[in-house]
């Protein structure tokens, strides 16, 4: 039975336009600029904010630091930090806090200078030196990208998934990116070569990074940031923009276990929670904003969210069905260009919420006509290893 309620809505959004800030601004400055713009988008003021959600991306003691930096004294501070899915967790927590009467206006912010600081994200260790199992993994030289490659190779072995099928993910997101001026500028600033729409052949013939994943299946490393304002119904009714309602949420965790299946993500646990609360089915969704650190991340999560059965993702994505101009096939995937071709400053979850809201407000550069339902799904950590899943279902007013 559906328990859907409309007790919190996204009312303000902003994405930092530059993906290469050349160290001219700090992550805190990016966060502040995005917060100010998102509040303006909503028609709200700093003084209206009474809840802050922060993933420790700007500084140490993030909750206290960000409150002082913004000059507000929130009643709620939530510093949940679970990687790229942190912002889906934050959206779920904001919805619950608002429904419980603890807050009326929640502010989520993100800022990163990963590109300017030359952060070697993809070649970092699997556990980053901080996990309980690190002493059993790091000595073997397992890097982040190799971890995803291992999951991709296993998916191919188990289900017959082909390189051409995985390439469909990159082709669809690049097609959307080429319609997004900020994504095109990002590729120019980050010195991409031959910036254009790509083909399956382009992807499968690009340089091998970690077998079987190739260059055009790996996310970019950029600077960037964003902000999302979430408000109670009474506030949302008086905002400048149409509310985008949070109607379902789910959170889950997965880590290596004996006998574990690395082709399955934590989405298999978070998705039923979110869809059950929302009272909708995957085949009813118009938009799928899915964390695309690598092509295999998307394919696995599409299966685990229930768009198709486990192992059927390869055939299911064939033929360009994830493009925005194929609404009958649905859902349209990462219509801003995604982490593969628009931005990936290290943690991308907030941009999933931003573009999903754009679509439901009718403001995307790859707009799906009449888009009414969207999912924003964040994957934090590393697929095939320890990671979290945050699933948010959004509905048009």
The residue ranges of every structural domain in the chain are 9-118+221-396
pLDDT the model gives residue 262: 94
Which is higher by pLDDT, 336 or 125? 336
Mean pLDDT of 329-356: 96
CA-nearest of 345, 297, 27, 293 to 186 is: 345
Residues contacting 133, CB < 8 A, separation 6+: 127, 256, 386
Kindly tell me if the per-residue pLDDT of 391 is higher than 80.
yes
Question: What pTM value is reported for the model?
Answer: 0.96
Distance CA 198, CA 214 (A): 14
Q: Is 205 strand, coil or helix?
A: coil
pLDDT the model gives residue 71: 95
Q: What is the number of other CB atoms lying within 10 angstroms of the CB of residue 205?
A: 14
pLDDT the model gives residue 131: 61
Kindly tell me if the per-residue pLDDT of 214 is higher than 70.
yes
Residue with tokens 């790091």: 138
Q: Which CATH number fits domain 9-118+221-396: 3.40.50.170, 3.40.47.10, 3.30.1280.10, 1.20.120.80?
A: 3.40.47.10
Mean pLDDT of 136-162: 88
* Residue range 50-78, pLDDT digits in tens: 999 999 876 666 788 899 999 999 999 99
Provide the β-strand partners of residue 375.
288, 393
pLDDT the model gives residue 56: 80
- Token representation of residue 143: 């890097």
Distance CA 213, CA 153 (A): 9
Q: What is the number of other CB atoms lying within 10 angstroms of the CB of residue 29?
A: 17
Residues above pLDDT 90, as percent of the chain: 84
Residues above pLDDT 70, as percent of the chain: 93
């Amino acid at each position: 039975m559906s328990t859907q309620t409309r007790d919190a809505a996204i009312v303000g959004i902003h994405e930092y336009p530059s993906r290469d800030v050349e160290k001219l601004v700090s992550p805190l400055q990016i966060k502040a600029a995005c917060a100010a713009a998102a509040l303006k988008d909503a028609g709200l003021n700093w003084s209206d904010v009474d809840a802050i959600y922060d993933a420790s991306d700007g500084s140490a003691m993030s909750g206290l630091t960000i409150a002082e930096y913004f000059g507000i004294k929130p009643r709620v501070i939530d510093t949940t930090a679970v990687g790229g899915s942190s912002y889906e967790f934050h959206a779920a927590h904001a919805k619950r806090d608002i429904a419980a009467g603890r807050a009326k206006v929640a502010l989520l912010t993100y800022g990163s200078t990963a590109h300017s600081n030359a952060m070697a994200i993809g070649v970092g260790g699997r556990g980053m030196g901080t996990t309980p199992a690190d002493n059993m993994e790091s000595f073997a030289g397992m890097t982040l990208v190799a971890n995803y490659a291992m999951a991709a190779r296993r998916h191919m072995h188990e289900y017959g998934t082909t390189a051409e099928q995985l390439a469909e993910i990159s082709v669809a997101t690049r097609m959307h990116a080429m319609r997004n001026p900020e994504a095109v500028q990002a590729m120019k600033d980050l010195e991409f070569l031959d910036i254009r729409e790509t083909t399956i052949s382009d992807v499968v013939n690009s340089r091998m990074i970690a077998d079987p994943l190739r260059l055009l299946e790996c996310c970019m490393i950029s600077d960037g940031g964003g902000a999302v304002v979430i408000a109670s119904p009474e506030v949302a009714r008086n905002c400048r923009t149409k509310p985008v309602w949070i109607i379902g949420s789910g959170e889950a965790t997965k880590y290596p276990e004996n006998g574990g299946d690395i082709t399955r993500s934590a989405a298999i646990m978070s998705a039923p929670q979110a869809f059950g609360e929302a009272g909708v089915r995957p085949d009813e969704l118009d938009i799928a904003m899915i964390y695309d650190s690598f092509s295999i991340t998307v394919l696995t999560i599409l299966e685990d969210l229930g768009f198709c059965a486990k192992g059927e993702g390869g055939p299911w994505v064939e033929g360009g069905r994830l493009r925005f101009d194929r609404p009958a096939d649905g859902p349209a995937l990462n219509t801003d260009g995604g982490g593969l071709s628009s931005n990936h400053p290290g943690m991308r979850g907030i941009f999933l919420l931003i573009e999903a809201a754009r679509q439901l407000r009718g403001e995307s550069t790859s707009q799906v006509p009449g888009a009414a339902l969207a999912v924003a799904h964040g994957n934090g950590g590393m697929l095939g290893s320890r990671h979290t899943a945050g699933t948010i279902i959004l509905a048009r007013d």
